Every structure is written in C-alpha cells, then in structure tokens.
Chains A and B, each alone.
Chain A
C-alpha cells in the first residue's frame, strides 16, 4: 500500500524538475513545450500502466468466476431434468436417457483413495529422508530432483507406459489371486496415480519437516532419544497438520487427473464390483464421451460432472492451502 503515496511524491518532483528545466531553456519554444509536456505524458503513461495492472488483477478474478458460471449455466438443463438424484443414480445409459453419476463418483473416490493409501508411505518417507535425515549432500539432491521430475512427466506418457507395462503385470497378478484377469481397471489406475502424486505430498512434507524448531529436536536428543524416536514423537506430531495438508493437496491432484486414468481404467459405465474391476472416473467419462454427446441433456450431464469435480477439487485445495499457510505462519 505504500507505493501509491511514494509515486505521488515522485510525480510531483518530476513536475518541478520539468519546470526548472523549462526555465533554463526558456529561449527556445519547442524545447519549453517539450519539457512541460514530458511530465504530463509521464503521468498519463503512469496512470495507464497502473490501470492495466489493476485490469490484469481483475482478469484473474473474472476468469475463475467465468469458469464457475459457464459450468453452472451449462449444467442447468441436466440439473432441471434430472434433479439431485442424478448424483446417486446407479445406471448411466445415454441411449435410453438414464443418467446416474454414482458409478463415476465411486470410481473417482476408489481410485483416488487407493492411490493415496499406496503413495502416503512413500511420500512421507521421502519427506522425512530429505527433511530430517539428509537435508544436504548429493544423495538428497539426487532424490529431491528425481522426485520432482516424477511430477514433470506428462500424464499421457504415464498412461501409455501403464498400458504397455503395468497392465500385463497386473493381469498376471490377477490370475494368481484368482480374479478375472482383465488387467485394466481401478487397481491399475490407482497404481499409476500413486506414482504421479508422490511428489506433491513429498515436497510439501519436506518443507514442513524442515520447519520443526531445532530446539525441540535438540531437547529430545539431549534426553537420549534415538533418531527414530525423535521422528516419531517430536517431528511427526509437530508436523501433523502440514503433512495432512500435503496429502490433501495430492488428493486434489488425484481427483482431477484425467489422461493416465482414462487410458488404463477400462472405461465401462457399470458400477465397479471390486477394486480389480474396470470402471470410470468423473474425469475419464468426460474425456471419453464429451465429443460424442449428441443430446442436450447428455452433454449437460457430463458438464455437471465437471462442475462437481471443479467444486470438490477447489474445496480440497483451499482447505489444504489454508492449513499449510497457517502452519508456516506459526
């Protein structure tokens, strides 16, 4: 807030400078006008620049509200035609105009939470290793950079790799434990999702673990605690909320992930019977059926899924970021 005041002073001084200048060169009319004109032009340019900046700030707000508004307006036909029970209808049959989103909600929840359960031990381990065991050195640099590169690989490539490598592995695993050896399905997508979301929780976890005051740790060490005891009874309790927020943010990431899941989940609209069965998530059904939706209600039902996805991920992200910022401000 202090800049505008400063700026006013600056413009004032610029004007007075201009006047002094013009006094010296009063003999030449053109120079005089030029010297007087410059501050006015500068003031105008300055105001224009400030207004542009405010406009840019407004654009962000308009963009987000525009997204929300577009989703709401476009899903009104489906909300009108199908009502609230759309969300727990168990059949999705566009040919007969029956729309129930429950299989997709269930598919999304199953894949995301399964992925979370698989990934949490790994991401917490990375966080502890980088935050407490070896915060410096080439080994931790290597681990840190590799884990960050995991997040950089495009999801369509994860999907392709999953299709070529993971699906056969899962298929032979399924034959061994005696379920239908389909290969594609919720379990496979959870595995890929788990790999994809490790970096988010890990990097947030590392930064909160590094913020544990060293006096606490030193106190525990002075009492004779081993490293593991320090981690278990000082670091983990202290960073509980931060770690939770990291996991929450990676959940938000998993919910909205589209391409990798679409490629390995099997894409059926039936209610998944087990975690090895093929299914569909909200994002993958939109990706698959959006361009084929020939009826207004069909399209609108898909957009309503998008609206639900938007709201859920936004709420999860906001909670996660609140918790993190409260943690870092303490």
Chain B
C-alpha cells in the first residue's frame, strides 16, 4: 500500500508543474507575443520572436551536424561489434552521455568562441550537437541490432556492395527507429540552457546570423525568470509554455513510434 502511495506521489509534482505553468503562461500567448521582440523594462507588451527564431535556427544547425554523424557512428558500431575501436567508441559514447551540460559549454567556448573571437549561435549549435550525439548513436545502434541478419545476407547475396546494403536496405528498414532517436535527441536538447550560456549567449534583438550571438527560448526563460520585473517574468511564463508543450509533444511522439518498434532507448 505504501509502495502505491509513494509511486503515485511522483506524479503529483509533474502534474502540478504542468498545470501551474500552463495556467501562468497560456494567457500571455497571443499574436503580438509571437511576433514581437521583447520591449524594454516599463513598457508593456512585447514578445519572444527572437527566442523562437533563435531556438529553431540553433536546433536546426545542431541537428544538421549531429544526426548524420550520429547515424553513421551507430552503423559503425552495429557493423563492428567486437573491434577494439568499437569498444573505445562505445565507451566514449557512454562517457559523453554523462558529461554535465555545463562542461560541454566550457569546451565549446574554447573550441569555437575564443578562436572565432566572439559569442555565436554556431558555437551553441556545436555544443548542443555534442549532447545530441550519444542519443542518436545509441538509438541507431539499438535499432539496427534488432534487424534480422537475413535481411543483410539476402542483400549481399544479390551482389550489392557494402555501402548500398547499408544505405539502401539496412538504414531504410530501421528508419523509424533511427528517426525517433533523432527526434528524442532534439527533445532532450531543446530545453538545454547551460551549454548556451557561454556560446550563443543571448541577444535582445531578432537575428538570423549564426555567427552572431543569438537568443534562444531556454536562455530567454533563464534571463527573464531571474529578472526582478514582472513584465519580463510574464514573457518568461509564456515562453515556458511554448517550450514545455514543444518538448512534451516531441517526447510523446517518439514514445508512440518506439512503442511500435519496441526499442529501449
């Protein structure tokens, strides 16, 4: 009995947080909110379009970097299960999965921000892509492991070269599992703030230049939530609702796909 009570007590904070944030934020969202940049302190109104656009750009660039590399690495790991490099590679993916996000922010700062001479959205994307990699690699590897060997053997028997077997038979067969891993990785990094603090840095204006500092939703929430002004806090509540709904929808979506595929991520 105690077990059941304790188990269901865990649901309470989540539902409380969801309801509270939606109640506090949903009324702030309207057309102006979605199409304007934040107003200076004291003026009412203003929106978060810079954060929305920035988040989309940063996440897109991060996906473009991470998803191809992640899928190919996953293919490598599933094709070479016992080689020495595969062992080290797997170990490194494990390590990478556990690295605190703030540490990745520091590293991206020294790899990109310092050499390029300033904060940029690109460095933020690289930091996020490092965080995406382990999830994409793992889900690709796990999905491909589930495919029957007979598929590959049949393709080889037809005389297909190795790369075509992988790209035209194996990867398309596992594509829904691989894609759900990619979507999950986007869901994981969409709300990441710590790696962006020293890389994308934030920007009160709308920009689409990825070599300049850029705002993103989590950064905007962090900056405005810790500010003392109520107008800014309202912006942060509205932004929280959008971010939360986006992340939860992505998660539910991946769950629906993975249930069909019975993949453990």
A255 nearest CB neighbor, chain B only: B100
Digitize A58-70: 1 where CB-to-B-CB distance is under 8 Å, 0 elsewhere.
1111011111001
Contact of A121 among B6, B24, B72 (CB under 8 A): B6
Complex contact B73–A60 (CB within 8 A): yes
Residues of chain A within 8 A of B89, CB atoms compared: 57-58, 60-61
Complex contact B255–A60 (CB within 8 A): no
Complex contact A317–B94 (CB within 8 A): yes
Asked if A107 lies at the interface with its beta carbon under 8 angstroms from chain B, I say no
Residues of chain A within 8 A of B92, CB atoms compared: 60-61, 63-65
SS class of chain A's interface: helix, strand, loop or mixed?
helix
Asked if A103 lies at the interface with its beta carbon under 8 angstroms from chain B, I say no
Contact of A164 among B24, B83, B94, B130 (CB under 8 A): B24
SS class of chain B's interface: helix, strand, loop or mixed?
helix
Residues of chain B within 8 A of A7, CB atoms compared: 156, 161-162
Asked if A81 lies at the interface with its beta carbon under 8 angstroms from chain B, I say no
Asked if B42 lies at the interface with its beta carbon under 8 angstroms from chain A, I say no
A3 to B83, CA, bound (A): 12
Complex contact B96–A64 (CB within 8 A): yes
Asked if A52 lies at the interface with its beta carbon under 8 angstroms from chain B, I say yes
B223 to chain A, nearest CB (A): 10
Residues of chain B within 8 A of A252, CB atoms compared: 98
Asked if B10 lies at the interface with its beta carbon under 8 angstroms from chain A, I say yes
Contact of A156 among B100, B163, B218 (CB under 8 A): B218
Complex contact B81–A198 (CB within 8 A): no
Complex contact B14–A314 (CB within 8 A): no
A133 to B137, CA, bound (A): 34
Contact of A160 among B8, B80, B225 (CB under 8 A): B225
Residues of chain A whose beta carbon lies under 8 Å from any beta carbon of chain B: 1, 3, 6-7, 9-11, 13-14, 17, 42-43, 45-46, 48-50, 52-54, 56-61, 63-67, 70-71, 74, 121-123, 125-126, 128-130, 133, 143, 145-150, 152-161, 163-165, 195, 198, 202, 252, 255-259, 263, 283, 286-287, 290-291, 303, 306, 309-310, 313-314, 316-318, 321
- In the assembled complex, 24 residue pairs joining A and B whose CB atoms fall closer than 8 Å, in A order, are A1-B82, A7-B156, A10-B156, A49-B162, A60-B73, A130-B7, A133-B3, A143-B8, A146-B11, A147-B11, A149-B252, A154-B247, A156-B222, A157-B191, A157-B243, A160-B236, A202-B10, A258-B194, A259-B218, A263-B226, A286-B106, A291-B201, A309-B102, A313-B100
